[in-house]
């Protein structure tokens, strides 16, 4: 009889709430009982609210048990969970969990399904088929397909990926680079992390395709140091791909050479800005560069460089394998394809939801998220990280679409959605936006370096009730200066959350007794 497969995710969120302890407890108990099981450490499905979400394969179907603690293992074995038995933790077949099946998984379809470092699992689920397709169709056709798909940069800026690739491909010079931005510093975002921990080979495949399309033989991944488990898993994935001949010289006998070097950041938010990231990849202080020159023409070590986010690159293999039209059929307006939205903060069912653009904030927060964790009304939602606007509850019907968000003075960014309930004091969050900018500013330009500190001071005076109107005007003027004169989005967009609080939650600046944000 085949051994029963038990899946326990090895992914940061799952491990952060006890998945390793659960795995140990299962191994110990099955040994004690003499039951022969196969313990698989898969990636995460992204239903973080159910973590640790363990599964048992019964008659070819995976049965999920959610929020499992090591202390549940005794009773789970007693309830015959290896046979899919009833138990308070039983969620049901994974393929019937509404949170998961109502998604449109394009880039994240393998996450949770496979063992992250198993090249067999990866190949069995069409892994490297996109790269094979690319090698067969030629570099020009690859760029055409990426252009046709409408794929835009998923790091936040939303720049058309195909145009960037075309620019690098057409640039003169023999040495070009692919630089993958995995410095996922925005609060409320974790999609890069989930992908790199749950399906790391897909990013490697996407980078190799980018290298082939643009004529780059070397790729760099810049991963933030706050992700130590991702570091371990992705580092191993590079070795796995190399051993199997999918990285290195003459990949699969095609004559195409491509290899990847992993760099770890060192705790600086602004290194997620593409030019600061390039400086950091060169071993320097993460100071923002002037643009132009564009990194596509003079990037890493002064060479033409594709700088793309993790999700952007990992979306490409399926675009080649399944066709650009299929990707472009999803979404709305000029926001085509899918985005992995991330539900975070005060939300009942937080996690990753990959959906086509056009889904509304309300659908994501209510249908998927189940409302706030506290059970109180939503007061505001910050979309797109610390530089994103706070959107009031009245605007929750806004569809997720780059252009629609720009119309309401907001941005989608990397797709992080952080929910706050009605007990939140928004003035404190406006203050935090300025404070965070002061902490993380690279210091190169004055509006960002000095403006953020002045911003904290002005907001403090407003909160104390000192000359409120005068300080209000001063803050608006300061926001204008930062927005108009900063070198990059750090200082340039910090005003977004501040202005949104001024616009929708001005009452929160009224003096109040101490208390939490």
Residues near another protein (CB under 8 A): 12-13, 15-17, 48-49, 51, 184-190, 192-193, 224-229, 263-269, 280-286, 301, 342-347, 350-352, 373, 382, 386, 416, 418-421, 424, 429, 432, 436, 439-440, 516-517
Place of tokens 């060479």: 303
In whole angstroms, what is the distance from residue 147 CA to residue 168 CA? 14
- Min dist. Cβ of residue 185 to another protein (A): 6
Residues 6+ apart with CB under 8 A from 377: 393, 421, 422
Cβ proximity to another protein, 335 vs 424, nearer residue: 424
In whole angstroms, what is the distance from residue 200 CA to residue 234 CA? 6
- Min dist. Cβ of residue 345 to another protein (A): 4
Q: What is the maximal distance between C-alpha atoms in the chain?
A: 78
Cβ proximity to another protein, 205 vs 279, nearer residue: 279
In whole angstroms, what is the distance from residue 355 CA to residue 366 CA? 15
- Looking at residue 29, what DSSP letter applies? H
- Min dist. Cβ of residue 280 to another protein (A): 7
Identify any residues that bridge with 4 across adjacent strands, giving them in sequence order: 37
Cβ proximity to another protein, 470 vs 517, nearer residue: 517
Cβ proximity to another protein, 349 vs 404, nearer residue: 349
In whole angstroms, what is the distance from residue 43 CA to residue 257 CA? 29
- Min dist. Cβ of residue 129 to another protein (A): 29
- Min dist. Cβ of residue 81 to another protein (A): 23
Residue 273 DSSP SS3: coil
- Min dist. Cβ of residue 171 to another protein (A): 21
Indicate the angle between helix axes 446-464 and 468-485, nearest 10 degrees.
160
In whole angstroms, what is the distance from residue 316 CA to residue 339 CA? 13
Cβ proximity to another protein, 315 vs 382, nearer residue: 382
Closest CA to 297 of 434, 192, 191, 168: 168
What's the distance, CA 80 to chain centroid?
Answer: 37
What's the distance, CA 238 to chain centroid?
Answer: 20
- Min dist. Cβ of residue 494 to another protein (A): 13
Cβ proximity to another protein, 121 vs 279, nearer residue: 279
Residues 6+ apart with CB under 8 A from 186: 156, 272, 384, 385, 386, 387, 388, 413, 414, 416
The H-assigned helical ranges of 3-157 are 12-16, 19-33, 73-78, 98-101, 119-124, 129-137, 139-149
- Min dist. Cβ of residue 288 to another protein (A): 13
Cβ proximity to another protein, 17 vs 244, nearer residue: 17
- Min dist. Cβ of residue 198 to another protein (A): 13
Rg (alpha carbons) of the chain, rounded to whole number: 24
Angle at the Cα of 23 from the Cα atoms of 19 and 25, rounded to 5 degrees: 115
Cβ proximity to another protein, 313 vs 383, nearer residue: 383
In whole angstroms, what is the distance from residue 151 CA to residue 458 CA? 41
Cβ proximity to another protein, 148 vs 367, nearer residue: 367
- Min dist. Cβ of residue 86 to another protein (A): 26
| Token pair recorded at residue 232 | 């371990």
- Min dist. Cβ of residue 232 to another protein (A): 11
Identify any residues that bridge with 61 across adjacent strands, giving them in sequence order: 58
Cβ proximity to another protein, 111 vs 343, nearer residue: 343
Cβ proximity to another protein, 69 vs 124, nearer residue: 69
């Amino acid at each position: 009889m085949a051994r029963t497969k038990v899946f326990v995710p090895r992914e940061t969120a799952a491990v952060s709430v006890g998945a390793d302890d659960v795995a140990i407890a299962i191994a110990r108990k099955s040994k004690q009982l003499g039951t022969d099981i196969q313990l698989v450490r898969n990636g995460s499905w992204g239903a973080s609210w159910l973590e640790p979400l363990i599964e048992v394969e019964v008659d070819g179907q995976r049965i999920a048990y959610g929020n499992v603690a090591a202390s549940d293992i005794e009773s789970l074995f007693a309830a015959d969970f290896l046979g899919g038995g009833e138990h308070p933790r039983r969620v049901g077949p994974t393929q019937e969990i509404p949170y998961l099946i109502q998604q449109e998984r394009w880039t994240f379809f393998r996450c949770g399904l496979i063992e992250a470092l198993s090249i067999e699992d990866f190949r069995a689920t069409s892994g490297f088929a996109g790269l094979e397709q690319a090698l067969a169709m030629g570099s020009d056709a690859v760029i055409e397909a990426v252009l046709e798909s409408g794929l835009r940069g998923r790091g936040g800026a939303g720049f058309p990926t195909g145009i960037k690739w075309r620019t690098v491909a057409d640039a003169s010079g023999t040495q070009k680079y692919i630089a993958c931005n995995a410095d996922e510093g925005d609060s409320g975002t974790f999609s890069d992390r989930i992908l790199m921990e749950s399906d790391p080979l897909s990013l490697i495949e996407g980078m190799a395709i980018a290298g082939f399309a643009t004529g780059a033989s070397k790729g760099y991944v810049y991963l933030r140091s706050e992700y130590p488990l991702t570091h371990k898993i992705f580092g191993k994935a590079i070795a796995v791909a190399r051993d199997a001949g999918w990285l290195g010289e003459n990949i699969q006998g095609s004559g195409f050479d491509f290899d990847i070097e992993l760099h770890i950041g060192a705790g600086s938010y602004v290194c997620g800005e593409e030019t600061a990231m390039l400086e950091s990849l060169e071993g320097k202080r993460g100071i923002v560069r002037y643009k132009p020159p564009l990194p596509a023409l003079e990037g890493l070590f002064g060479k033409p460089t594709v700088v793309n986010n993790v999700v952007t690159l990992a979306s490409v293999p399926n675009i080649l394998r399944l066709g650009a039209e299929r990707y472009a059929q999803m979404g709305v307006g000029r926001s085509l394809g899918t985005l992995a939205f991330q539900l975070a903060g005060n939300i009942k069912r937080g996690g990753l939801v990959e959906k086509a653009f056009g889904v509304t904030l309300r659908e994501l927060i209510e249908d998927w998220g189940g409302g706030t964790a506290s059970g109180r009304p939503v007061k505001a939602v910050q979309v797109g990280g610390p530089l994103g606007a706070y959107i009031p509850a009245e605007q929750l019907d806004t569809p997720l679409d780059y252009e629609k968000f720009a119309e309401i003075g907001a941005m989608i960014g990397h797709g992080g959605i952080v929910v706050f309930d009605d007990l939140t004091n928004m003035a404190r969050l406006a203050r935090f936006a300025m404070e965070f900018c002061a902490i993380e500013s690279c210091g190169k330009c004055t509006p960002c370096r000095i403006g953020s500190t002045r911003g904290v001071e002005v907001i403090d005076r407003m909160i104390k009730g000192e000359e409120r109107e005068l300080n209000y005007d001063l803050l608006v003027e300061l926001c204008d200066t930062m927005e108009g004169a900063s070198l990059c989005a750090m200082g340039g967009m910090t005003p977004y959350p501040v202005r949104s609080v001024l616009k929708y939650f001005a009452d929160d600046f009224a003096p109040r007794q101490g208390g939490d944000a």
